[in-house]
Amino acid sequence: MGLVIIDEQHRFGVGQRRLLREKGLNPDVLMMTATPIPRTLAITAFGDMDVSIIDQLPAGRKPIITRWVQHEQLPVVLDWMAKELQKGAQVYFISPLIEESEALDLKNALALEEELKAYFGRSAQVALLHGKMKSDDKESVMQGFKDGKTDILVSTTVIEVGVNVPNATIMVIMDADRFGLSQLHQLRGRVGRGQKQSYAVLVANPKTESGKQRMKIMTETTDGFVLAEEDLKMRGSGEIFGSRQSGLPEFRVADIVEDYPILEEARKVASQITADPNWRQQADWHLLSLHLDRQDYLD
């Protein structure tokens, strides 16, 4: 095997990606994602990965408008949804959990389905999709949504990837502060796939500053790379030589976010030095060679 292609790279762990690479003898690797995880973004800074950025929407598509509302404003959102449904729109309604959890105090998908059915009555068809359903049942529900038989699809994050319904123009995410930036961006990406204006509504009452910051960032940009940079600032880059994909790096001096320009310049200089296969034998780089041999910098 000479080529490994990993789509939705952020959904794979370090070990999983390594196992795929080990199936071949030093294969070329192409990884694709809408939102690079912190560790991946850090690796690009170290020059271990070439990056190509596609920063333009397909022809005819409009940027998704994102709004953050408090739980108390949900009735206003539902009234607006009703008007959009009359125009032929379809809606994703996302709930994080299936079963009750008093500790997390989240709306579960089953209860949410019943609430929406009670609110909209016969004016809208509501269906439920979650990860515990059988494959045939999932396909049946999704096909009904694609065919326009279902107006509102209540779902867990099972629809995060691989779903394409151009007529779906509204994404409502309950308890949005419980999700990370990458997941929120992936969910938001389920709408905006046609030529109609699409919307993402984040319903959340964050209790932490990081939760508030995530909501604010989501309303300010639809650029996955910008979101990844913000995620890197908030969560850290994790381990370059380990398996943690986020968290504070164990650097002696540098900060990968604040010192990015210096790190970028250092990478270029390092590439120039190591272009000579015999650079370690040169007197000018003797001390550098000794430093690289010190294992405590890598462990």
Q: What is the pLDDT of residues 197-249, one digit of tens each?
A: 999 999 999 999 999 999 999 999 998 878 877 877 776 654 444 444 444 55
Given a cut of 50, whether residue 108 has pLDDT beyond it is yes
Which is higher by pLDDT, 266 or 155?
155
Q: What is the pLDDT of residues 32-48, one digit of tens each?
A: 877 666 666 666 666 66
Give me the pLDDT at residue 243, please: 46
Compute, in degrees rounded to 10, the torsion defined by CA atoms 86, 90, 91, 92: 170
Compute, in degrees rounded to 10, the torsion defined by CA atoms 113, 197, 162, 138: 30
Report domain 65-221's class.
alpha beta
Give me the pLDDT at residue 208, please: 93
Residue 43 vs residues 9, 36, 235: alpha-carbon distances, Å: 14, 10, 15
Domain locations in the chain as residue ranges: 33-54+237-297, 65-221
Q: How confident is the model at residue 112 (pLDDT cuts 50, 70, 90)?
A: very high
Q: How confident is the model at residue 299 (pLDDT cuts 50, 70, 90)?
A: very low
Q: What is the pLDDT of residues 51-78, one digit of tens each?
A: 777 777 777 789 999 999 999 999 999 9
Global pTM?
0.75
Output the CA angle 227-230-233, nearest 5 degrees: 155
Report the mean per-residue pLDDT for the chain: 82
Given a cut of 90, whether residue 152 has pLDDT beyond it is yes
Q: What is the pLDDT of residues 115-139, one digit of tens each?
A: 999 999 999 999 999 888 899 999 9
Given a cut of 80, whether residue 296 has pLDDT beyond it is no
* DSSP state for residue 97 in the 8-state scheme: B
Q: What is the pLDDT of residues 171-181, one digit of tens each?
A: 999 999 988 88
Q: How confident is the model at residue 24 (pLDDT cuts 50, 70, 90)?
A: confident
Distance CA 212, CA 70 (A): 11
Which is higher by pLDDT, 80 or 278?
80
pLDDT cut 70: percent of the chain above it: 79
Q: Which are the contacts of 282, defined by CB distance < 8 A and separation ≥ 6?
A: 276
Residue 187 vs residues 12, 53, 135, 194, 254: alpha-carbon distances, Å: 17, 20, 20, 16, 34
Q: What is the pLDDT of residues 238-257, one digit of tens each?
A: 444 444 444 455 566 666 66
Between strands 90-94 and 152-155, the pairing is: parallel
Cβ distance 264 to 45 under 8 Å?
A: yes
